[in-house]
Amino acid sequence: MKNKYLELFENLSNRLDLYHNETKNQRYVQIMLERRLKSLPENEGDVYEPDKITRKIIYAIDKNVSLDDIDSKEAQQQINIRKIQKYLSDFVRTQMDSEILNRVGYIPVIKVESSRGGRGNEKAFWLDIEPVELLLPSEALEDEDSPDDYGEIIYVREHSSTIKPSILTRIFFKNGELKMYSPKGLLLTALMLISLLVDILIVLFAVLFIIFIKDLPSLSLTTALIILAFIPFAYMNFIWFFKPLHHLMTHRISKAPLLFANINTDNADIEMYKGADGYRIARITAFTSICPICTAPIELADGKPDQKQPLVGRCREAPHAHVYSFDRMTLKGYFSGHKGYLK
C-alpha cells in the first residue's frame, strides 16, 4: 500500500504547481513540501517521522542564503506560521480534489510544536495530516440551520477538462493550457496585434470611403454595402478577440473570447499564471458559484455598465441584481448590490 502521507503530499505539490501564484505563503508551503517529499519512504506503510523545520530555515531556503546569514528576528517577523496554516487550509478546501481527500480520509495540515516556544525560542513546525472531518469551513457554509448569508460567496474553479474546446482552442491550447513564450503563444500574440492593426486600417478606410463617397461616380449599392460590412467585422474582432486577450495580459484573467470557447459551452474564462519557470501560461477554466439569494449559478461577467470592477460574478437569473465581487486569489466574492438584501 502506498504511504498515505506521500500520496497526499504529492497531490498537494501537484496542485500547488497547477495553481502556482506569487504569494509568499505558497512559497513557504512549497519549501516545506519539497523538503518533506525528499525523505518520505515509498512503501513502508504509514510510518511517519515529522520533518521539523523552523522559520529561520524556511527563510534561508527562500532567500537562498546560508543559515548563518539569517537574522532570526527578521525571519520571525516575515514568516507567520498561523498565516501559512490558514493559507494551506484554504488551499486544501478550494483547490484540492475532494475525491482524493475523501478516499485517503486525511487532509494535509501544518502542526506546531507546543512544548517549547515563548519569546526568543525557535518554534518548530512540520507538515502532517489530520482526518478529513476537520476540514470544517465548507461544511459550515452549507449548513442549513445557519442564518442566510447573502454577503459572501466562494467560487470554485472548474477543471479545464469539463470545458469543451473550440477549434481555435484545439489549435493553440494543449490540455487547456498555452505557454505564452512558446511558438504558438507568440503566434497568438502576433495575431492579436495584427488583428488590431487590421481593425484600425478598416476603420480608417471606411472613414475615407464615407468622406469621398460622392466622388466615386460608378459605385454600385452592393459594392458600397460590402465595403461597409467590414466595419461590424472590425468591431466584432475588437470586442471578441482583441479586447479579451488584451484584458488577459493586463489583468491576468478574462472571459474567454468567443472564439476560444465552444458555442455549446455557456461559460469559460482564461486565467494567466506565472509558471514556476517564470514564463506566463494561459489556462482555460471557469469560475462558478451558487447565488445565495436565488441559488442559480453565478458566473464571471463584464462589470460594465453597473459595476466598477472589470470582472464580477453575476447570477444567471438576475445578472444585474445579484452581483458579487471576484477575487481570483482568495476565490471569495462579496455582495455589491443593495444592502437591503443582507438583512
SS3 assignment, position 98: helix
Q: How far is the CB of 10 from Zn ion (least distance, A)?
A: 39
Q: How far is the CB of 291 from Zn ion (least distance, A)?
A: 3
Contact between 316 and 296 under an 8 Å Cβ cutoff? The reply is yes
Contacts of 156 (CB under 8 A, 6+ apart): 94, 287, 288, 289, 331
The grid coordinates listed for 42 are: 515509498
Query: How far are the Cα atoms of 225, 270, 329 from residue 260, in angstroms, in the given order?
Result: 29, 9, 23
Q: How far is the CB of 301 from Zn ion (least distance, A)?
A: 13
Contact residues toward Zn ion (CB under 5 A) are: 291, 293-294, 296, 315, 317-318, 322
The grid coordinates listed for 17 are: 504547481
SS3 assignment, position 212: coil
Contacts of 294 (CB under 8 A, 6+ apart): 315, 317, 318, 322
Residue number with CB closer to Zn ion (176 or 313): 313
Please identify which residue in the block is written with the cell numbers 474582432. 237
DSSP string, 131-181: EGGG--HHHHHH-TTSPP--SEEE-EEE-GGGSPB-HHHHHH-BTTEEETT
Residue number with CB closer to Zn ion (231 or 294): 294
Q: How far is the CB of 290 from Zn ion (least distance, A)?
A: 9
Residue number with CB closer to Zn ion (7 or 152): 152
Q: How far is the CB of 143 from Zn ion (least distance, A)?
A: 20
Residue number with CB closer to Zn ion (84 or 323): 323
The end-to-end CA distance of the chain, in Å, is 52
Q: How far is the CB of 71 from Zn ion (least distance, A)?
A: 52
Residue number with CB closer to Zn ion (101 or 298): 298
Residue number with CB closer to Zn ion (158 or 317): 317
Residues in the chain, total = 343
Q: How far is the CB of 298 from Zn ion (least distance, A)?
A: 7
Residue number with CB closer to Zn ion (9 or 324): 324
Contacts of 196 (CB under 8 A, 6+ apart): 238, 242
The grid coordinates listed for 19 are: 495553481
Residue number with CB closer to Zn ion (53 or 293): 293
Q: How far is the CB of 256 from Zn ion (least distance, A)?
A: 23
**For the purposes of burial, counting CB atoms within 10 Å of the CB of 54, is it exposed (0-12), middle (13-18) or buried (19 or more)?**
buried
Please identify which residue in the block is written with the cell numbers 510544536. 113
